[in-house]
Structure 1
């Protein structure tokens, strides 16, 4: 067996982030036709090894349609995607709207589809195609507010929050002037909201919801609603929120916002690997063992408002993509990330993702396969263990092991923009996941890693 130090130096040349130019290839949507599979109901096993994909229908293609996106669903299967989160598909209000096309989150009717994207039949075909490819579909649900054209404003003004003068208002302390705030003291409104959600599960076969600003809606609404949804069929529920109480009874997964922010800080030199340790300890203290957090390097909010992955993470972007897969939780791919997208997508008007394969498509494909198949990366309600491996420089080097059912994966990374040398007392025989090369780690061995270099090691 070759010693690990030799392999590390070799791999530093081959895989160091941002050092190698790769040929850009126009993405092909054609894939081999496979036997359609019966999709089992949502269950805990699915949550252990799933990859989630956020679909921005408007910007995904030049057509910006359900049909154009549906053609590429088999491509998502290649990336190991098991959950498809579709951004709001509903008609958009024009009153007080922002930009030429308005925000997806200013909804005028919860039970119809936006004609900009196609027809209800087109959406049904999207769901069927996803299911045929073993992928669950969850809809983005906006329960905190509606657009100003929603029929409730005329027929049920009591459904909304009002100011001292009795005028319906947008959500206080926000700049969301294109939406009207809903009043959750109104029980009739709650029941109608619940029925509208049930429609999509019962009549259109969706498998759950990603719930916008979930923490701004009373927890007891979510708890009762999820209970009613599960009477129809098992569902997967994702909260856009970090609050632990959301995950007690209502939601399966929340956002790992603080994890994401820590990634940005480390990439920008504002934090070190020790700060990652503090974040892991914080998760342990705040959440129950069966709570799931979503890991991401981007999403629609981050991309449009806070910058691209390149802007925020620079040469560290590949490292943190890998870390989002191997750390506890479920990894997210946002539309375009698989095609090395390096632009802020417009939010209120038409834009287009250029689908050309570069570095990230094969990377996500490889990471997705590992996530799907190795129990050591389980991140659901029965997650694999996470154990920090000590090194001689724990500020610069992040090393940890994940283990379950006799399977072990080790992640080692240089969390800085400079090369680093270090030692570790960790021992074992491994295979490098990317190169396939076997290696052996011995006590007090000296290792070297280039800037932002990382390794994923499978214990043999």
Structure 2
């Protein structure tokens, strides 16, 4: 992990916006009207999916993926101008939030400025044809960081954005060599001290596949040397296996606890139930009470939090990355108060630096403890809305549920669970 990463970044909540689909207009200017509402959720960073022009060659869908970028240094004219980008950043800052933008440095579109000007900066096979490590990404051309002139260009671009933004979410970060990221971080720090770096890290199967082809790809243990935060993809398959009944809660709990031992002490995971690449949480967790428990549990875990636009209202449709697909803001369930409350709790020191452990309590009930000297905070979440009991070391008596303000009784070292989240402390 970056040695100077501040563990207070565990307090942050990131709100992810796909500008093209977020409003009817699909522009940077139109997004500004929604910023006050976004702020009320407890948002610290507004993360914009790529806002650059999209390539036309080999485009997927009518509008193309925002991750097939034609020119890193320009703003998509359909979304606005560089002035609009700066104005949006100013509005975000005035509301006390920060701006994070998407950086896509593993590849460009197949008609990009860089490919036209510097074809030698791209991967080619033995016949001289463009080569992709991931053949599914047929709309992009992958860059070759063996050329250090490419490093200079990319870092200069980062410095231009760092003069406006406060953080980068780096797409497919592990496939870009770690030495590049270390050099980039050092240079960006000169423009914007305390800049925040989030890596879209990846899981073990994909790491094995890419390394098997003879290419660089970083594990989370490596990526933390240059980045402040990393995705939770290292255990994403374990989570889906539990949701789909392929494995037990005990197995899932074990991998969560293992995370806390295998990474540096100041590691920060970005916890999330959904993002632009995955199905909506309410789609895969249909029961609303289950969803409430999962949302509370996710945000109570050690690390930062991601909210994908529309998640707060339980939207079930995953917007297309390739075609116009405006968000429908019709509320299925309003999780806004939950998100706001869990963010408030995450600001407390015990959840930032306290000793953390996850426990399988049986009957699909999970407990999370934070311990700091004599202080203990206990969260209990019924992931399938079942009742049960949880044994605790808290003294017998009545406690205030920090989640919903109800009274929780501890008797004979036992808390009775009825299906709703419980958060208590001594």
Q: TM-score band (shorter)?
A: 0.7 to 0.9
CA change 1:319–1:267 in 2 (3 A) is: farther
CA change 1:439–1:173 in 2 (3 A) is: closer
What is residue 216 of structure 1 aligned with on the other side? 175
- Mapped to 2, the partners of 1:163 and 1:425 lie a distance apart of 60
What is residue 192 of structure 1 aligned with on the other side? 153
Are 1:339 and 2:299 an aligned pair? no
CA change 1:312–1:339 in 2 (3 A) is: same
Are 1:456 and 2:423 an aligned pair? yes
- Mapped to 2, the partners of 1:267 and 1:108 lie a distance apart of 38
The one of 24, 46, 65 equivalent to 1:62 is: 24
- Post-superposition, which runs of at least 4 consecutive aligned residues in structure 1 deviate over 6 A? none
* SS of the residue 2:44 aligns to: strand
* SS of the residue 2:277 aligns to: helix
What is residue 376 of structure 1 aligned with on the other side? 350
Answer 1 or 2: higher relative contact order, Cα 8 Å, separation at least 6: 1
Are 1:402 and 2:361 an aligned pair? no
CA change 1:106–1:434 in 2 (3 A) is: same
Structure 1 contact 247–291 (Cα < 8 Å) conserved: no
- Mapped to 1, the partners of 2:54 and 2:359 lie a distance apart of 50
Residues 166-209 of structure 1: CA distance to partner in whole angstroms, max 9, x if unpaired? Answer: 1223x22321111111111111111111111111113xx21121
- Mapped to 2, the partners of 1:44 and 1:423 lie a distance apart of 34
The one of 107, 111, 123 equivalent to 2:69 is: 107
* SS of the residue 2:62 aligns to: coil
TM-fit CA distance, 1:132? 1.0
Structure 1 contact 258–279 (Cα < 8 Å) conserved: no
Moved more, 101-110 or 150-159: 150-159
Structure 1 contact 268–312 (Cα < 8 Å) conserved: no
Structure 2 contact 282–314 (Cα < 8 Å) conserved: no
Q: How does 1:143-222 map to 2 (within 5 A)?
A: 143-169=105-131, 171-202=132-163, 205-222=164-181
- Mapped to 2, the partners of 1:148 and 1:364 lie a distance apart of 40
* SS of the residue 2:336 aligns to: helix
What is residue 313 of structure 1 aligned with on the other side? 285
Gaps in structure 2 of 5+ consecutive residues: 203-218
- Mapped to 2, the partners of 1:79 and 1:251 lie a distance apart of 25
CA change 1:446–1:384 in 2 (3 A) is: closer
TM-fit CA distance, 1:139? 1.1
TM-score under structure 1 normalisation? 0.82
- Mapped to 2, the partners of 1:364 and 1:405 lie a distance apart of 28
- Mapped to 1, the partners of 2:345 and 2:46 lie a distance apart of 19
Moved more, 216-225 or 275-284: 275-284
TM-score under structure 2 normalisation? 0.88
Moved more, 213-222 or 349-358: 349-358
TM-fit CA distance, 1:265? 3.2
The one of 241, 265, 271 equivalent to 1:265 is: 241
- Mapped to 2, the partners of 1:272 and 1:119 lie a distance apart of 50
- Mapped to 2, the partners of 1:420 and 1:45 lie a distance apart of 35
* SS of the residue 1:249 aligns to: coil
What is residue 58 of structure 2 aligned with on the other side? 96
* SS of the residue 2:403 aligns to: coil
The one of 375, 379, 390 equivalent to 1:411 is: 379
- Mapped to 2, the partners of 1:318 and 1:425 lie a distance apart of 23
CA change 1:407–1:139 in 2 (3 A) is: farther
* SS of the residue 1:237 aligns to: strand
TM-fit CA distance, 1:259? 4.0
Structure 2 contact 257–358 (Cα < 8 Å) conserved: no
TM-fit CA distance, 1:70? 1.4
Residues 52-73 of structure 1: CA distance to partner in whole angstroms, max 9, x if unpaired? Answer: 1111111111111111111111
- Kindly report the root-mean-square deviation, in angstroms, between the aligned alpha carbons of the 2 structures: 2.2
Structure 1 contact 328–377 (Cα < 8 Å) conserved: yes
- Mapped to 2, the partners of 1:239 and 1:404 lie a distance apart of 29
- Mapped to 1, the partners of 2:375 and 2:46 lie a distance apart of 28
- Mapped to 1, the partners of 2:382 and 2:116 lie a distance apart of 58
Gaps in structure 1 of 5+ consecutive residues: 1-41
The one of 67, 77, 81 equivalent to 2:39 is: 77
TM-fit CA distance, 1:407? 5.6
- Mapped to 2, the partners of 1:43 and 1:370 lie a distance apart of 21
